[in-house]
């Protein structure tokens, strides 16, 4: 029996461990419990808040116009930025998380 075959069963385990160690620096900002520093992160949180307002107050399941924007006059934000990616944040917020926590965990 060749000497290499003795450790052949450990090779997949070593690959998995190496992948986990390589991804730790990437996911570390999301494990701090606060919003990571991003250029557009706050805009996404604002859009999730606008979607939540539209779902609760406007009654539209897929809103195009949000009446809570522009000092109460409303704006057609979701014509240009589809709200689909913000639904997980809103649903996590409905379970009791803050918008920031919901955005980090979605």
**What pLDDT is stored for residue 30 in this prediction?**
73
With contact defined as beta carbons under 8 Å apart, do 99 and 93 qualify?
yes
**What pLDDT is stored for residue 37 in this prediction?**
81
**What pLDDT is stored for residue 50 in this prediction?**
93
Query: 22-62: per-residue pLDDT in tens?
Result: 998 888 877 777 777 888 888 999 999 999 999 999 888 89
How far apart CA 85 and CA 35 sit, in angstroms, is 17
DSSP 9: G
Q: pLDDT category, 93, cuts 50, 70, 90?
A: very high
Between 4 and 21, whose confidence is greater?
21
Which of 32, 60, 48, 37 is CA-nearest to residue 102?
A: 48
Whether pTM exceeds 0.75: no
Q: Count Cβ neighbours within 10 Å for each residue of 3-40 and write b for 16 or more, e otherwise.
A: eeeeeeeeeeeeeeeeeeeeeeeeeeeeeeeebeeeee
Query: Which residue shows structure tokens 């570390």?
Result: 28
């Amino acid at each position: 029996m060749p000497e290499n075959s003795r450790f052949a069963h450990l090779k997949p385990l070593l690959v998995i461990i190496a992948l986990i160690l390589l991804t730790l620096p990437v996911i570390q900002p999301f494990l701090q419990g606060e919003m990571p520093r991003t250029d557009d992160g706050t805009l996404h949180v604002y859009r999730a808040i606008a979607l939540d307002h539209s779902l609760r107050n406007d009654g539209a399941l897929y809103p195009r116009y949000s009446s809570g924007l522009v000092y109460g006059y409303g704006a057609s934000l979701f014509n240009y930025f589809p709200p689909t990616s913000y639904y997980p944040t809103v649903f996590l917020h409905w379970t009791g998380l803050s918008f920031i926590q919901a955005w980090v965990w979605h």
